[in-house]
């Protein structure tokens, strides 16, 4: 409705039907929420530092999971099955993707090390 009113008021002003553009009084419509904001490098470093200082099996799990999500993407990490990990080759293979097309994603050495420590426990 706001966009329609703004467009109509602008048309009336440009067509010389009114002296001023009344559309400037109508605020723009918010069409949706803004896209999610990614973590900055500083925030990522802070998160991993906090996770590395925690101890215990739950802390190891959380550190491995966050390292995986930061290294490969949240969506890929959530779609992962344990059998899809190949830590020796440094990759994960996803069978459950959009369009049922398998995807192979390389993993960094640091992510593989976190996952190895977690799996060992």
The residue range of the domain holding 63 is 41-120
Q: Mention every residue, 6+ apart, whose C-beta is less than 8 A from residue 2.
A: 26, 27, 28, 29
H/E run at residue 83: none
Instruction: Judge if 26 and 46 occupy the same domain.
Output: no
Which of 63, 57, 107, 61 is CA-nearest to residue 86? 107
Cα distance between the two ends of the chain: 59
By DSSP bridging, strand 85-86 and strand 103-106 are unpaired
Say how many C-beta atoms besides its own lie within 10 A of residue 114's C-beta: 24
Residue 35 within any structural domain of the chain: no
Residue 42 vs residue 24, higher pLDDT:
42
Instruction: Judge if 97 and 51 occupy the same domain.
Output: yes
Q: Which domain CATH number covers 51? A: 1.10.443.10
By DSSP bridging, strand 103-106 and strand 91-94 are antiparallel
Instruction: Judge if 24 and 51 occupy the same domain.
Output: no
Residue 79 vs residue 22, higher pLDDT:
22
Instruction: Judge if 95 and 116 occupy the same domain.
Output: yes
Residue 95 within any structural domain of the chain: yes
Residue 36 within any structural domain of the chain: no
Q: Which phi and psi (to 5°) does residue 94 adopt?
A: -100, 125
Classify residue 57 as left (phi > 0), alpha (psi -120 to 50) or beta.
alpha
Instruction: Judge if 24 and 49 occupy the same domain.
Output: no
- Predicted structure pTM score: 0.53
Q: Mention every residue, 6+ apart, whose C-beta is less than 8 A from residue 98.
A: none
Average pLDDT over residues 49-74: 80
Residue 104 within any structural domain of the chain: yes
Instruction: Judge if 13 and 56 occupy the same domain.
Output: no
Per-residue pLDDT band for 74 (boundaries 50, 70, 90) equals low
């Amino acid at each position: 409705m706001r966009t329609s009113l703004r467009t109509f008021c602008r048309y009336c002003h440009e067509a010389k039907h009114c002296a001023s553009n009344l559309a400037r009084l109508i605020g723009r419509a918010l069409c949706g929420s803004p896209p999610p904001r990614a973590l900055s490098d500083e925030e990522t470093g802070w998160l991993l530092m906090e996770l590395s200082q925690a101890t215990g099996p739950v802390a190891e799990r959380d550190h491995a999971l966050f390292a995986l999500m930061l290294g490969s993407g949240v969506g890929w990490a959530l779609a992962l099955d344990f059998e899809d990990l190949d830590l020796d080759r440094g990759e994960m293979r996803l069978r459950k993707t959009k369009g049922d097309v398998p995807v192979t994603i390389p993993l960094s050495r640091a992510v593989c090390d976190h996952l190895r420590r977690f799996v060992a426990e």
